[in-house]
Amino acid sequence: MLTVLPINAYQDNYIWCIQNPLSQACIVVDPGEAQPVIDHLEKHQLTLVAILVTHHHYDHVDGICDLVSYTQQQTGKSIDVYGPLNPKIKQITHPLKHGDVLTILGTLYEVTEVPGHTLDHLSYFSPEDSLHSAPWLFCGDTLFSAGCGRLFEGTPAQMLNSLKALASYPLETEVYCTHEYTLSNLAFTQAVLPNDTEVKLYIERCQTLRDSNKPTLPSTIKTELAINPFLNCTRPDVQASVSLQSQSPITDELDTFTRLRKWKDTF
């Protein structure tokens, strides 16, 4: 069975390592730093066979060159680097577009374009199969637990559509985003939904994990639909809270999302 383990990088990044404990082969997702990955490979005697990239920001790509060189030195073989077609990521060997399907380590990954945080942002969805018992979603900085990414390049409409696409995956889908932002996102969520019981329970659960120095991730689509305000811009209580904060009536779902994201930017 394939397993997914977090490799800590920078202050709050996770580089996800998808590994096969039988073959000792692995994939990493968004390696912003090389040395933590190399340390993980050597500790667990793993061989890196591919890299998946969601978008071009430095904390997701800056480790690629050193990892390619390291693997070449260790195995004498080049590795596949999958990601968006973007001149800012010169190491990509397999540029991807919406609808592409990959097979790596015996399992499928469906590629979806999810612009908003950046225009080149991709996500990778792996349906449940014989190698892992729940669907996986590697979504970079588009969807966070209890939050979503800032709009550095895209529009609110693009990000809302991207989030709705991700939220349409099966409820049991495990959500692997790339930052440990959950508690700070939940502080904002509680400001939006101060009386929501599920939010309060989720805060308690995540605080317990962090107190034990454990990741709050992966989340699931089911959890995010219950507690993430950015996935619930048609909920009357979310709309009422946003309307009160901005002191003007809400017009529609996109208006709610736009104001919600602006509110979070200054929270």
Binding residues: 55, 57, 59-60, 117, 141, 179
Binding-site residues for Zn(2+) sit at 55, 57, 59-60, 117, 141, 179
Tokens 């509680």: give the residue. 190
Task: Please report which residue ranges of the chain form alpha helices under DSSP H.
Answer: 35-44, 58-61, 64-75, 156-167, 182-192, 197-211, 221-227, 236-246, 253-265
| Cα–Cα separations (whole angstroms), residue 42 to 39, 45, 74, 180, 184 | 5, 5, 11, 25, 33
Edge-to-edge strands, sheet with 3-9: 3-9, 13-19, 25-29, 47-52, 80-84, 94-96
The residue count of the chain comes to: 267
